[in-house]
Amino acid sequence: AQSVTQLGSHVSVSEGALVLLRCNYSSSVPPYLFWYVQYPNQGLQLLLKYTTGATLVKGINGFEAEFKKSETSFHLTKPSAHMSDAAEYFCAVSEEYGNKLVFGAGTILRVKS
């Protein structure tokens, strides 16, 4: 069965510092991987996705993530945090095209001024 583990339910960084949010997954087949962001009282917004091809994927708002098969990881990074990045971030995996997503428990990112 698929599962997703997000290390750290809360991450705090200073404005301008590197953001690193960790995601590890388990899957019996090559996965499709996603990062979503959720602002308070809003739905989930897709940040980026990995399906096939290049393992370093770029998304919106300066975020990127690298698929590392050997480590079963898909960590999310951003070189320089902005106050507007404060939100909850979810990593998700799907084993089939168009199939359900399995989400991690989420990481709340706090950005300090």
Partner 1 sequence: DTGVSQNPRHKITKRGQNVTFRCDPISEHNRLYWYRQTLGQGPEFLTYFQNEAQLEKSRLLSDRFSAERPKGSFSTLEIQRTEQGDSAMYLCASSFHYEQYFGPGTRLTVT
Binding site for partner 1 (CB under 8 A): 4, 9, 32, 34, 36, 41-46, 49, 51, 90, 92, 94, 97-106
Residue 95: both structure tokens together = 């084993």
Do residues 94 and 101 touch, judged by C-beta distance below 8 A?
A: yes
State whether residue 16 is helix, strand or coil: coil
CB of 5 to partner 1, least distance (A): 11
Residue 110: both structure tokens together = 């706090």
CB of 60 to partner 1, least distance (A): 12
CB of 87 to partner 1, least distance (A): 14
